């Protein structure tokens, strides 16, 4: 829904003109499963986003309406729930709860949310909702915070209220995204650098529409446990190691004989992936998309063979993509075991790319992939009326 239409929905429902904000979803270009090892990631904010419209009330009620769910919830700001109830409103409530905990007092308001980030597809509609709520609520409270702080509030909300063990990358990218740039983020220090991704290069995201064992979280958590086991073995030799971020490939190989093969391979993925993110950053600095694409492919192979977190459907999408003219690189993105692939595609070839990948995937699997095209976009902020 356009910003204009969201404003109108808000006016019709709440009888007041509101102020509009937006917060984007994100895709990770490279750096998979490195954030939990305090390493490097390289996401970009998308031009898919959640819009929030807020107008003040004279009592202490917060009414939140979601256009996507066509549903409204009412919250008493003096007695906010302190537990999730497995409902979309957990995400906005979690942010209000965290703000209250940080001593940021909110007077009553009406809020409308409307988003075009696909829900539950790994493009972080959840972070985009949280950040859209946070920027609107903070402006309403008259509190200005640095964007990385807003990201931390949203991560805290999702971890401690909603109960999802998500990392800082999603809300950070939604807050700090830069138009026509990817972000190189150091997940230990939260230092970041914007790297150019000009509009001739599109981010094409192919949703395999399958979700394997990750749904229950079992495999995902098993991988994390294997990495942690690897770190404990490495620490016996080098007590200074805090996380795999501190380990070189040579160091890891020296300890290979002391760890089971599966643990070695999971660690090898993370250690080499950190190195790949830094190489990929260098490629973007020099505008070398061919090189960037080659590194993306290596990252996919490592996710598949070492981290064992790909699946036939995402492997097929990557294979189909690699055959298309104008495709610089393709890889699985997100937690793994299904979900989406991210592709870097020359804009002039993107129509054909989308057509061919969709057709090839459907022919082989019978599944219709959803494919989204986006440019790297700006992070959260106020939305001017009339802006699209
Ligand atoms: P992802 O972040 O990958 O999209 P999640 O499961 O983490 O998937 O978050 C999706 C959830 O976020 C939705 O089920 C819903 O509860 C909430 N959400 C996302 N967009 C909206 C929206 N526009 N309005 C209300 N809730 C939303
Ligand atoms: Mg999410």
Do 99 and 239 have their domain in common?
A: no
Model confidence at 388, pLDDT cuts 50, 70, 90, reads very low
Answer for the pair 35, 29: CB distance below 8 angstroms, yes or no.
no
Question: 340: buried, middle or exposed (CB in 10 Å: 19+, 13-18, 0-12)?
Answer: buried
**In this structure, is residue 300 part of a structural domain?**
yes
Do 106 and 227 have their domain in common?
A: no
What pLDDT score was predicted for residue 254? 96
What pLDDT score was predicted for residue 251? 96
Boundaries of domain holding 274 = 201-374
Mean pLDDT along residues 91-113: 98
Answer for the pair 115, 21: CB distance below 8 angstroms, yes or no.
no
| SS3 labels along 253-272 | HHCHHHCCHHHHHHHHHHHH
Pick the residue whose CA is nearest to atom 26 on ligand 1: 88
pLDDT digits (tens, 9 = 90+) for 17-49: 999 999 999 999 999 999 989 999 999 999 999
Ligand 1 centroid vs 333 CA: distance in angstroms? 18
**In this structure, is residue 388 part of a structural domain?**
no
Strand partners, 342: 205, 331
**In this structure, is residue 17 part of a structural domain?**
yes
**In this structure, is residue 51 part of a structural domain?**
yes
Do 256 and 188 have their domain in common?
A: no
Do 328 and 250 have their domain in common?
A: yes
Do 39 and 163 have their domain in common?
A: yes
Model confidence at 166, pLDDT cuts 50, 70, 90, reads confident
CATH number of 29's domain: 3.30.230.10
CATH number of 234's domain: 3.30.70.890
Residue among 129, 155, 216, 370 to mutate when testing ligand 1 (max atoms within 8 A of CB): 129
Cβ of 66 below 6 Å from ligand 1: yes
What pLDDT score was predicted for residue 213? 65
pTM reported for the whole predicted model: 0.94
Do 223 and 338 have their domain in common?
A: yes
Question: 384: buried, middle or exposed (CB in 10 Å: 19+, 13-18, 0-12)?
Answer: exposed
Work out the percent of the chain whose per-residue pLDDT is above 90.
91
User: Ligand 1: which atom is nearest the Cα of residue 114?
Assistant: 23
Do 250 and 119 have their domain in common?
A: no
- Averaging pLDDT over each range in 333-337, 357-361, 380-384, which range is the top one? 357-361
Cβ of 116 below 6 Å from ligand 1: no
pLDDT digits (tens, 9 = 90+) for 343-375: 999 999 999 999 999 999 999 999 999 999 999
Cβ of 126 below 6 Å from ligand 1: yes
- Give 16 or 224, the one with higher predicted confidence: 16
Do 166 and 205 have their domain in common?
A: no
Residues belonging to the active site: 170
Answer for the pair 376, 180: CB distance below 8 angstroms, yes or no.
yes
Cβ of 124 below 6 Å from ligand 1: yes
Cβ of 91 below 6 Å from ligand 1: yes
Do 174 and 232 have their domain in common?
A: no
pLDDT digits (tens, 9 = 90+) for 295-334: 999 999 999 999 999 999 999 999 999 999 999 999 999 8
Residue among 126, 128, 211, 220 to mutate when testing ligand 1 (max atoms within 8 A of CB): 126
Ligand 2 centroid vs 336 CA: distance in angstroms? 14
Pick the residue whose CA is nearest to atom 20 on ligand 1: 125
Model confidence at 211, pLDDT cuts 50, 70, 90, reads confident
Per DSSP, the chain holds a count of helices (H) and strands (E) of 11, 12
pLDDT digits (tens, 9 = 90+) for 42-78: 999 999 999 999 999 999 999 999 999 999 999 999 9
Answer for the pair 230, 259: CB distance below 8 angstroms, yes or no.
yes
Residue 99 has pLDDT above 90, yes or no: yes
Residue 273 has pLDDT above 90, yes or no: yes
Pick the residue whose CA is nearest to atom 3 on ligand 1: 122
Do 176 and 233 have their domain in common?
A: no
Residue count of the chain, please give it. Answer: 388
**In this structure, is residue 287 part of a structural domain?**
yes
Cβ of 71 below 6 Å from ligand 1: no
Cβ of 335 below 6 Å from ligand 1: no
Pick the residue whose CA is nearest to atom 12 on ligand 1: 126
What pLDDT score was predicted for residue 28? 98
Mean pLDDT of the chain: 95
- Number of domains within the chain: 2
**Runs of H (alpha helix) within the chain:** 3-14, 90-101, 125-141, 147-157, 169-176, 218-237, 249-254, 261-285, 289-305, 312-322, 350-365
Do 288 and 328 have their domain in common?
A: yes
- Give 217 or 307, the one with higher predicted confidence: 307
Ligand 1 centroid vs 125 CA: distance in angstroms? 5
């Amino acid at each position: 829904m356009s910003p204009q239409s969201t404003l109108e929905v808000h006016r019709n429902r709440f009888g007041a003109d509101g102020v509009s904000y937006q917060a984007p979803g994100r895709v990770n270009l490279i750096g998979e499963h490195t954030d939990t090892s305090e390493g490097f990631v390289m996401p970009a904010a998308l031009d898919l986003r959640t819009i929030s419209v807020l107008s003040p009330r004279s009592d202490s009620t917060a009414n939140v309406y979601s256009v996507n769910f066509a549903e409204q919830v009412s919250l008493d700001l003096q007695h906010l729930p302190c537990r999730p109830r497995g409902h979309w409103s957990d995400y906005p409530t979690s942010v209000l709860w965290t703000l209250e905990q940080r001593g940021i007092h909110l007077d009553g308001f009406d809020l409308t949310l409307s988003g075009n980030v696909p829900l539950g597809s790994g493009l972080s509609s959840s972070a985009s909702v949280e950040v859209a709520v946070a920027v609107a609520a903070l402006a309403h409270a008259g509190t200005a915070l640095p964007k990385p702080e807003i990201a931390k509030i949203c991560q805290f909300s999702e971890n401690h209220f909603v109960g999802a063990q998500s990392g800082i990358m999603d809300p950070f990218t939604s807050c700090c995204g830069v138009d026509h740039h990817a972000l190189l983020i150091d997940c230990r220090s939260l230092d970041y650098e914007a790297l150019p991704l000009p509009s001739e290069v599109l981010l094409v995201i192919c949703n395999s529409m399958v979700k394997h064992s990750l749904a229950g979280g079992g495999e995902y958590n098993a991988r994390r446990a294997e990495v942690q086991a690897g770190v404990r073995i490495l620490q016996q030799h080098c007590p200074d190691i805090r996380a795999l971020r501190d380990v070189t490939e040579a160091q890891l190989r020296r300890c290979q004989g002391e760890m089971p093969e599966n643990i070695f391979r999971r660690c090898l993925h993370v250690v080499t992936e950190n190195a790949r993110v830094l190489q990929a950053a260098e490629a973007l600095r020099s505008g070398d998309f061919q090189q960037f694409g080659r590194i993306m492919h290596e990252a996919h192979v490592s996710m598949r063979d070492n981290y064992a977190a790909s699946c036939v459907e995402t492997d097929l999408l990557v294979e189909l993509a690699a055959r298309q003219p104008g495709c610089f690189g393709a890889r699985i993105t997100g937690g793994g075991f299904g979900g989406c692939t991210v592709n870097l595609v020359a804009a002039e070839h993107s129509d054909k790319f989308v057509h061919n990948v969709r057709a090839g995937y459907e022919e082989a699997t019978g599944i219709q992939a959803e494919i989204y095209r986006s440019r790297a976009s700006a992070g959260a902020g106020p939305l001017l009326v009339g802006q699209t």
